[in-house]
Structure 1
Amino acid sequence: MRAVVWKGPGKVSVDEVQDPRVERATDVVVRITTAGICGSDLHMYEGRTAAQPGVVMGHENMGVIEEVGSAVQQLRKGDRVVLPFNVSCGTCFNCTRGYTSACLVANDDAAGAAYGYVGMGPYKGGQAELLRVPWGEANCIKLPGTPGDELEDDFLLLSDIFPTGYHAAQMANVQPGSTVAVFGAGPVGLLAAYSAMLRGAAEVYVVDAIPERLKKAEQIGAIAVDFRKGPPAEQIRNLRLQNPLVRGAMRRGEEKMAGVMCGIDAVGYQAKDFADPSQEDHTSVTEQLAEVVNPTGALGIIGVFLPQDPGGKGQAAKHGEYQLPWGKLWEKGVQLGMGQTPVKHYSLVLRDLIIAGRAKPSFIVSRHIPLADAPDAYQKFDRREPGYTKVLIRPAEQVATPL
């Protein structure tokens, strides 16, 4: 079969690789109809992980079951499924408590596994024509409809970034009426903002500097904050205080709560220096969130931080060690959540919101491409070029279709 293979920093190619097969009785093999290119893939693409050449890429996958193992009872050939990016056994101590992101069985080297990602077990990715899915009944979410229908893009986003955005909102304790600041208007940040609105947030601020992404944020009802115009925390606080309704509702002393109650980091360890966006500042987002989140607020860190970053500034950063404003966070009593999303915990609820027409996460999708165009798409996505906010691969198609 054909698959997208990482060759080294800044280079992927579409190669012929061995077809997957049923290796254990609990496996299924899925013919991929759509796979996403994720911002997390760029960490490997850029050489910012410990990955070795030869990785078959892709952890955002959906398709139709081609083959089932002899022990699989609840799935059959022809079923349409989406695959949470977490590979999980479904029965270990963590999986049975809902923490499929920290499965103790699927990866010999750590708690947690995934398709096509460094350090996440031996599983090939799904930016390919076929994919082996271990523990098929635990790792397949059944879908209605037919491949390529009007819900294809929405369902694909259940593999990772829609549940990830929702998980960020939950970690940040977003409730009806909450005020929220999301740093990063990439796909995850936009879906974190969207999820905050689904959960009833009153005000959602989205921080970025890419006009196309800020415009998307405004289109879903968020307030765009361009960090090129000044420190984001200060901008958000000023916007709130300049609103006569917000200011007029404050009693004495409540101007101390002119920030937001909920903060989300959807950027991670490749954050920009807000004063000079051509440079990285690994902790800039955390520092701004520590400023803008109110006392007794909550912070959800969904942006990726890895223990090994060959491109980090200084030896500490290369080993995932950062100086953070813990004193300020502690003084404010900020609740803090972080880590990978247990996708399956949210998949069924979010799937049913899509089916009911209450959620349409595919607003972020900007382009469909055939498998052969993946190397070009990676390059343009990495450069944040217009039209490459969220790219989906359709292996069976031959021609790209911009939206």
Structure 2
Amino acid sequence: MSMRAVVYDKPFTVTVREVEKPKILHPDDVIVKVTTTCICGSDLHMYEGRTAAQAGIVFGHENMGIIEELGEGVTLLRKGDRVVMPFNVACGRCANCEQGKSAFCTVVNPGFYVCSAYGYVSMGPYPGGQAEYVRVPFADFNALKLPPGTEHEEDFALLADIFPTGWHGVELSGFRPGESVAVFGAGPVGLMAAYSALLRGASEVYVVDRVPERLAKAKEIGCVPIDFGAGDPVDAILKLRDGKEVDRGVDAVGYQAVAQSGVEQPNAVLESLIRVVRPTGGLGIPGLYVPSDPGAPDAASGKGYISFPFGKLFEKGLSLGTGQCNVKAYNRHLRDLIIAGRAKPSFVVSHNLPLDAAADAYDKFDKRIDGYTKVLLHP
């Protein structure tokens, strides 16, 4: 049997076409009929040719839907259950999974130091969910049950990646209630980091970006928007704070950071964070950095070598936390915040579109035009 899916053809080109429908391959598998799947900023790295992704890969690591078929080893789930899956596939049984470090599962992607994910280059053999169906391995561990029906569909879809990842960025920084935070990047993850800081009791949150729609979203939720196109963002934050640095900083941009001039500069955000965070403060870096980058602006960063002022980091006694989000450590609690009405992360969603609109949606999201901030696709 076949199904429709979003397939990568070449840089800046995806198409929706017929591919083979997934099958149960292991007793712990389930097959989910996808109801909502999201386009992520991380997908753009592949879309733009900035990874080793080969033609034919099915995209989509932010997926939710209804269980249609179960392997005989699945015990906690039932046909018809509504579920959302962490973007990082994990076994639930290895030493890292047992410690809550599911992003660093040692079983599902042997030979790599990165997590496994649906539809992502070098992250395991798991086709993506920007499709009508997706296979979920180790399903009892990886599928989070949701209330039946369609309520909170947009909010729950964001539990696959960006809401937990934003929360994780704040966690990595060592944040404590009452502290001030500067978030660099107001894409979906950056906005989720800012929102998470507010939910957790931040006194002030500054959000740095240059896209007007993104800065407007940050202001809507009670953050202070900082347009780095208008001047040095660190200077702007320090001026607003009478020269005082912030307690914590979050890098929600990653290796495709740009300088104020608009020229790509991979270390731009790291340098700014070291400047803007107070001595003994902390940096959380959920923004993606990669060990190789075919489109890097220089040879060093092409090999994953990013220069930044480590001497100043040391002098200020800053702590630094990095790495992919351990979604399983957060998604159950964040789900319950949504159900209780305490959190509504779907404020970042700009478009709900049919799967067949994926090619145009990728183009507009990549160009940051027409208000495309977070796109949800519905097969």
TM-score by length of 2: 0.98
| Aligned pairs for 1:189-338 within 5 A | 189-241=190-242, 258-274=244-260, 276-277=261-262, 279-338=263-322
Give the AA of the match of 1:193. Answer: A
State how far apart, in whole Å, the 1-side matches of 2:49 and 2:230 are: 31
Q: Which residue of 2 aligns with 1:133?
A: 136
Give yes or no for the alignment of 1:114 onto 2:98: no
Amino acid at match of 2:216: K
Counterpart amino acid of residue 283 in structure 1: N
The match for 1:49 among 48, 51, 55 is: 51
CA shift at 1:205, angstroms? 0.1
Q: Say if 2:155 is the partner of 1:169.
A: no
| Aligned match of 1:244 | none
Identity of aligned residues (%): 58
Counterparts of 1:134-153 in structure 2 under 5 Å? 134-146=137-149, 149-153=150-154
What is the SS of the residue equivalent to 1:264?
A: strand
Q: Secondary structure at the match of 1:62?
A: strand
1:5 alignment partner in structure 2: 7
| Farther off after superposition, 339-348 or 168-177 | 168-177
Question: TM-score when scaled to structure 1?
Answer: 0.92
Shift of 1:50: 1.1
Q: Is the 8 A contact 2:7 2:14 kept in 1?
A: yes
State the Cα distance separating 1:66 from its structure 2 match: 0.4
Residue 370 of structure 1, CA deviation: 0.5
In the aligned structure 2, how far is the partner of 1:386 from the partner of 1:177?
A: 36
Cα-to-partner distance string for 1:262-303 (whole Å, 9 max, x where unaligned): 0000000000111x11x1011111111111000010000111
AA aligned to 2:246 is: V
What's the offset of the Cα at 1:314? Answer: 1.6
Instruction: Report the AA paired with residue 123 of structure 1.
Output: Y
How far 1:228 sits from its partner (Å)? 1.4
Q: Is the 8 A contact 2:29 2:74 kept in 1?
A: yes
- Which residue number in structure 2 is paired with residue 385 of structure 1? 369
Greater radius of gyration (CA): 1
Task: Determine the C-alpha separation between the residues in 2 that align with 1:101 and 1:319.
Answer: 22
Q: Secondary structure at the match of 1:311?
A: coil
Deviation string for 1:103-151 (max 9, x for gaps)?
A: 00101231421100011001000000000001110110000031xx330
Task: Give 5+ residue unaligned stretches, structure 2.
Answer: none
Within 2, Cα distance between the matches of 1:299 and 1:48?
Answer: 25
Name the SS of the counterpart of 1:124 in structure 2. coil
Where does residue 19 of structure 1 map in the other structure? 21
**Which residue does the alignment assign to 1:346?**
330
The alpha carbon displacement at 1:332 in A equals 0.4
Q: How far apart are 1:175 and its partner, in Å?
A: 1.6
Query: Which residue does 1:99 correspond to in 2?
Result: 101
Point out 4+ residue stretches in structure 1 off by more than 6 angstroms.
none
Output one character per residue of 1:30-56: Cα deviation in whole Å (capped at 9) or x when no partner: 000000000000000000011111110
CA contact (8 A) 1:65 1:78 kept: yes
Q: Aligned partners of 2:165 and 2:110: how far apart in 1?
A: 24
Please say if residues 84 and 344 of structure 1, whose CA atoms lie closer than 8 Å, have aligned partners that are also in contact. yes
1:87 maps to a residue whose letter is V
Matching residue's letter, 2:108 = A
Q: Check whether the contact 2:247–2:277 (CA below 8 A) recurs between aligned residues.
A: yes
Q: Do the aligned partners of 2:86 and 2:142 also contact (CA within 8 Å) in 1?
A: yes
1:386 Cα deviation from its structure 2 partner: 2.7
Cross-structure match for 2:86: 84
Distance in 2 (alpha carbons) for counterparts of 1:271 and 1:35: 26
Gaps of 5+ in 1: 242-254, 396-403
Contact 1:212/1:386 (CA < 8 Å) preserved in 2? no
- What root-mean-square deviation, in Å, do the aligned CA atoms of Structure 1 and Structure 2 show? 0.8
